[in-house]
Structure 1
């Protein structure tokens, strides 16, 4: 079996979905899902994307390009800079002058952290 078929079946079972219920979620047939899971049919990228969404995972995981089934990358709570930004964080980040110096950026970060600590808006 291919990585895709194995991972798809595994994630479907983790989500406690039958082939029929998964098929309904992706607007397909049970036999199509069964054929994908048994390597008799290779789904299009579009279909694989629908399946990944229904299984709350990523296409990359289903294809074996990553070993993490999580949609968002796993991040330690140590302030990792690779953590996805929330909409509010994006708004603040994009409104800052791109020519800001490192010192000014550190001051802004301290100001935001202080405001968050006291739950005040800037």
Structure 2
């Protein structure tokens, strides 16, 4: 399994004056997403993200947003520089998923969103690798009998 770390270039001093909404806008732009797409992906109400200009989201929504963008809650609140959550990527989940949000949240092509062709190629590579790993595990298990 591999871990992919996103790259962010806004320093902590610049982030201190940003609202949660500003941070979400910045993260969305880097992923090629509109705020509407983020709202839909996370099942938030239509104007929820815009309400974050003047208020702080509750803990559950902060976690959803942090997980979606692969950043810490502290980063969303402007209290820390970006420190990506280092969770392993499940190759089987990526290969078998029809959800583009998985790709958009963990992968990019030189900082740009992946094209449909890129996503199809990655799925093929992951799917082939996953099947190979499953076969090796089965062969190993069979040889131990």
TM-score by length of 1: 0.49
Q: Which structure is higher in RCO with an 8 Å CA cutoff and minimum separation 6? A: 2
